[in-house]
A and B are shown apart, each in its own frame.
Chain A
Amino acid sequence: MTDSHFSNAPIDLATIPTLEQSTDTALMPAFYKTNLLIRIAVTTIILSLLAITKFELFFAIDDALHMPLLIALSAVATIGLFSIVFGYFSDRAISYHVRELDITMRSGVFFKKVVTQPYLRLQHIELKRGPIERKVDLATVQVFSAGGSLHTFALPGLSLAQANALRQYILDHKDVTYHE
C-alpha cells in the first residue's frame, strides 16, 4: 500500500513530548464542596434514621433488635466518616491537563492513575449533568473511544462553560485520519 503521507523516519525518544512536562489544572472548587456536602448529608440521614429507630420512645421495639441496631449505627458511622474523609482527598487528587492532541486525567490517593485519551480515537463525546450538578453549575465531560464502555474517559468537576469549551475544542481537533 502506498501512502504519500506516511513516513517512518527513526525518532529520538528524548525529543517526543512527554506527559510529565505538562502542568495540571485542578477541578472547580464547587466540585469538592458539593461532593463533601452530599457525603455528609447521606451519612447524616442514614445515621439519624438508625438513631431514631434505636432511641425513639413512641413504640417499643423488640429487645433483640437493640444490639444489631447499635452495631449498624457504629458501622455506618465508621464507613460514613471514612467515605467523607477519603472521598474528599480522592476528589482533591483529581486533576487534568489538555494538550493539543490529547487530554489527561490524574486521580487516586494511594493508587495513582494517569489516563490519557487522544482525540483522534474519539467515537463520540457527551456532556453529562445531573440535577445537583445543574444546581451548582458543574458538568462532566465523557469521551467515548472504541475501547468499550469500561474505558470511557470521564472528567468531572468542570464548570459548564469549561465543559462546553472543552467539548468544542475536542470536536474541532478530532481530525481526519488516514485509512490503512
Chain B
Amino acid sequence: MNNWQRVSPIALLYFIANNITLLVNNMIYMVPLIFTSYKTISEEPLWLVLGISGILGLIALSAFLQYYFFKFRLSEQTIEIKSGVFKKVHLNLPFARIQNVKIISPFYFRPFDYTTLELDTAGSAKSEANLVALKVGFANQLKQEILNVARTTEQTQSTDNIVNDNDEIVLNRRSLKDLVIHGITNNRVWIFLVLFAPFFDTAANNVDGVLIGLGINFSETFSPETHAWWQLGLYAAALLAISYCLVMLLSVLGSIVAFYGFTLSKQGTNYIRRSGLLTRHEVVMKLPRLQLIVSQQDWLDVVINRLNLRFEQAKQGQKKQPGQEVRNKIMVPSINQQEFQGLLNDVWPNNQFLSLSFSSISKRFLVKYLSLFLTVPTALLAVMAYKQQWGTFAMLCGAMVIVSGLIVMRWVRWGYAIDDNFIYIRKGVLGVNYYLFPLHKIQQTTFHQSVLMARRQLASVSLVLASGSQRIPFLPQHIARQIIDKSLYVIESTKRNWM
C-alpha cells in the first residue's frame, strides 16, 4: 500500500459533525449578532431561511473539501497523512514513535462498521493524528501492527511475551447495575454538562417561560406575601429534593453513556479499555507507561463498599488540554474489593497492598490546621459573645465544629506505608483514596521542613511521578529521610526505566 489514498466517503459524516461542534462552540460570539438583527429576522423570515441554508451549505462544502484533501499512505512502518484545505499539513509518523493508539467509534460510524484511529506521540500535542473512517477490521489490524512495532523496539531481548500476543483476556466487565451504582455514588453529571455546555444560556433563559407555560409561576409561588414561612420552607425542601433526584438521574445516565458495555482486557502487556453508549472509545495503555494506581472511594462508595480504580499514565507534553487528562486515565468504575485486588495483582504482582498496615501522620498536622482555621473564628466568637449576638454565635459555632470535624477526618485518613518496591498512600476526608506506585518510577524527591516542624523532628515528603506529585505530610523526620534515601537507592541501583 504505497499509494496515497482517500478514506471512505463515510468520513464526510465525521467532518460535518466536527464542523457543527466547532460552530456550536463558537455560537457564543454570534449571540450579539443574532440579538441586533433579531428584529429584521422576525420581520423577514426569508432571510432566516437563506441564512441557515447558507450556513449548512458552508458546513457541507467545507466538510467535502476537508474530506477531499485528506489522504494517507502507509509505507515501511510509517504512516503519512496529508490534510488541510488552506493550511496544508503533511504529517510523517513512524510507528515506533507512536505511544498510544485509541479507537473511537462515534455513533454515526457504528452502523457502517467504520471507526476512527487516534494516534498519540509522546511530546508535543501537535503531532497527534486522527485516521478518520477506517473499516473496523483494518483499523484493528493497523493498531496491532503499530503496537507490535512499538513493542519490538522497546524490548529487543525479551521475546516470551510476544508468543501469546493475540489472545486477549477480558479482565473486567461492568454490568448495567454497576453503572447505575456508579452514577449514584459518583457525580457523572459533567458528561452532560460537557455535551450541552453550548446550549446552557439559552436553556436557562427559557426555563422560566416553559414553567409559566406549564402553569407554574415561580415568583408567585415563592412570594412571602401569599404563603406562610413553613409553606415556603416545604416548597424549598421539595425543590431541593427534586433537583437532587434530577441530578442523580442525570448522573446515572451520564455514567451509562460513558461506560456502557465497559470491558477492560489484557493483550500481552497492553491493557485495553472499551466503553461508551453513543461513541465507543477504545484506549490502550502499555503496562510500562503506568505510573500510579488509585483506588477512589467517595463517602457513598465507602458505605456500599465499592471503589473506582484509576490507572494513571505519564502526562503527555507540557500543554494541558481539557479532556486530555481524562483520556489518559483508564478508570474501572465501581468495582468491589475482590475485583480491585485481582486487577492490582495482575498489573503489579509483587505489591503487598493487602497485608500492609498504614502508619498515620503526626498529630501535629491537627495542631497546625486547627489553629490555622480556628484562630480567627474564635476571636470573632469572643466579639459576638461580648455583643450578645447569640444567633450568629451559634451559627459560627456550628460552622467551626463542621470544619474541625473535616480536619480531624483528613488527619484520620492520611497514612502511608512503604515496602521494598512500592509506596502506598492513603488519604481523603469523608471518602478514602489509596495511591500506590513503584519506587523506581519516581522522577524527583523533595524533603520539606519548616522551622516549627524541625523542632518536633517532623518533615514532609513530596515524590514527583510522571503523572504528578504525591505528598506525605508530617512524618517523623528520620522516616522522611529513609523514604527519600530508599527511593533514590532503588532508582539509582536498579536503573530500571520509568516507562
CA distance A165 to B448 in the complex (A): 29
Q: A13-B482, A18-B481, A146-B466 are in contact. Are A121 and B420 (CB under 8 A)?
A: no
Q: Which of A80-104 contact B (CB under 8 A)?
A: 101-102
The residues of A that contact B495 with a CB separation of less than 8 Å are 5, 120, 175-178
Could you tell me if A115 and B444 are in contact, using CB atoms closer than 8 angstroms?
Answer: yes
> Complex formed: what's the CA distance from A148 to B466 in Å?
7
**Which of the segments B67-75, B247-255, B302-310, B485-493 contacts the partner chain?**
B485-493
Cβ of B486 and Cβ of A116 under 8 Å apart? Answer: no
A19 contacts which chain B residues (CB < 8 A)?
Answer: 447, 481, 484-485, 488
Residues of chain A with a CB closer than 8 A to B158's CB = 1-3
Interface string of B308-350 (1 = CB under 8 A from A): 0000001100100000000000000000000000000000000
Does B393 touch A at the CB level, under 8 Å? no
> Which residues of A lie under 8 Å from residue B444 when comparing CB positions?
115-118, 121, 145, 147, 151, 153
Interface band, chain B = 35 or more
- Given A116-B444, A151-B464, are A179 and B288 neighbors across the interface (CB < 8 Å)? yes
- Give the contact stretch, choosing among A30-38, A46-54, A66-74, A106-114: A106-114
B420 touches A114 (CB 8 A): no
Task: Judge if B207 is at the interface, Cβ distance under 8 Å.
Answer: no
Within 8 A of B (CB), among A1-27: 1-3, 5-6, 8, 10-11, 13, 16-20
Interface presence of A172 (CB below 8 A): no
Chain B, residue nearest A121 (CB):
B443
Contact B160 A2 (CB under 8 A): yes
* Of B381-389, B408-416, B449-457, the one with at least 4 CB within 8 A of chain A: B449-457
B443 contacts A147, CB within 8 Å?
Answer: yes
Whether the pair B486, A118 counts as a contact (CB closer than 8 A) is no
15 contacts between A and B (CB under 8 A): A6-B496, A13-B485, A18-B481, A19-B484, A19-B488, A101-B492, A113-B446, A114-B447, A118-B488, A121-B498, A145-B443, A146-B499, A151-B443, A177-B496, A177-B498
Question: Which A positions have Cβ atoms within 8 angstroms of B?
Answer: 1-3, 5-6, 8, 10-11, 13, 16-20, 101-102, 110-118, 120-121, 145-151, 153, 175-180
